[in-house]
Structure 1
Amino acid sequence: MALPVFTSGVANSHGFVQSPASRQEACSNGTLNDCGAIQWEPQSAEGPKGFPEAGPVDGSLCSAGKEGFSELDDPRGGQWPATDVAAGQDFQFQWKITAAHSTTSFRYFVTKDGWDPNKPLSRDQLEPAPFVDVDYGGAQPPNTYTHDGKMPEGKSGRHVILGVWDIADTANAFYSCADVNFG
């Protein structure tokens, strides 16, 4: 007689920013080949929510504090592939979601003018408030979630955008860093 098998466990991370192209996107699509485990699990940068007051520690924001994905925190001397954008531009942000969660919000933070691209990303390098904050009201987004937003005004040169997908029914969020060039 066969017995039913029951399993339980913690849900793994399930999403990352595709546009602007995130570091996870560059690692998973073959643009970069020396990314470690994140190239097979680009959706797995999940950490505690509550950013910026809580969440991953400074220096591990891009990896969501997951040691196995520390390649995402390596600034690579500012040489991550970057998406060209314009300050104040209307932009379509896109997430690839491999498992939908009840969602509080999608938020985006950008580095301050004068930030140091040779150091791992930290809170003091980011503007304190998100430049886009999409309230999702607890709904579950589709597998490809696209929404409109406006790039921050007054930026020029190379910057990092930290995308934070806040989950409504867990203590976690997904983190995704995208390198951009404001031309």
Structure 2
Amino acid sequence: MRKRHILAAVAAAVAVPLSVAVPAYSHGWVSTPPSRAALCAAGTVTGCGDIQWEPQSVEGPKGFPSLGPADGTLCAGGNSRFAQLDDPRGGAWPATKVTAGQKLTFTWKFTARHATTQFRYFLTKAGYNASTPLTRSSLDLAPFLTVPYNGAQPPTTLSHTATLPSGRTGHQVVLAVWDIADTGNAFYQCLDVTF
């Protein structure tokens, strides 16, 4: 009996420092309209690699557009593990039907909360070719929506509503960026839409 108590005490003593030493990293993804990561996680799109199990993990260096992931790797946050998200699939990613001037609500799901600087949403320019990888030159680098968060932690689900810009037709891509306040990273999500 005494041996069992000693083992339990030792296990508890080891567990406490480990739980304190391992930080709770923030993760999240856009669930609606479905991002590429969400489409892979739901099995709507196959051949996605690891992202199908980790839609919340598309994390890369922050500072977009002057810094951040390299052109052609924006949808994967510069993370080669999720390179399937950067593959334009010949412009065949499932796309949400939208209209110019429409109010569209973007919903994020978080598996861990983190101090947040802001959320920003960028849209590809008129004439974007959906069969090419996403680059800075294909995006309007002025976000059509910025939501300041001033270092607060988001709840487990958070929605933002934006009015979609005009002057777009056909298949376009929204790049959603969640800037973390207390790390050097941000989370990147690509969503395909059709005007």
Bucket of the pairwise TM-score, normalised by the shorter protein: over 0.9
1:4 aligns with 2:14: yes
Greater share of helix residues, 1 or 2?
2
1:120 aligns with 2:133: yes
Q: Is the 8 A contact 1:13 1:46 kept in 2?
A: no
Structure 1 segment 24-103 matched on structure 2, within 5 A: 24-103=37-116
Q: How many residues align?
A: 182
Counterparts of 1:91 and 1:118 in 2: how far apart (Å)? 24
1:127 positional shift: 0.5
* Structure label with greater radius of gyration: 2
Structure 1 segment 119-138 matched on structure 2, within 5 A: 119-138=132-151
Match in the other structure for 1:18: 31
Match in the other structure for 2:3: none
| TM-score of the pair, normalised by structure 1 | 0.94
Partner deviation per Cα, 1:129-169 (whole Å, 9 max, x = no partner) = 10111111211111111122111122221100000001111
Counterparts of 1:122 and 1:57 in 2: how far apart (Å)? 8
Q: Is the 8 A contact 2:117 2:151 kept in 1?
A: yes
Aligned residue for 1:33, secondary structure, equals coil
> Tell me, which stretches of 5 or more residues in structure 2 are unaligned?
1-5
Q: Once the two structures are aligned, what percentage of the paired residues are identical?
A: 55
Q: Is the 8 A contact 1:88 1:154 kept in 2?
A: no
Give the RMSD, CA atoms, in angstroms: 1.4
1:10 positional shift: 6.5
> Tell me, which stretches of 5 or more residues in structure 1 are unaligned?
none
Counterparts of 1:158 and 1:88 in 2: how far apart (Å)? 16
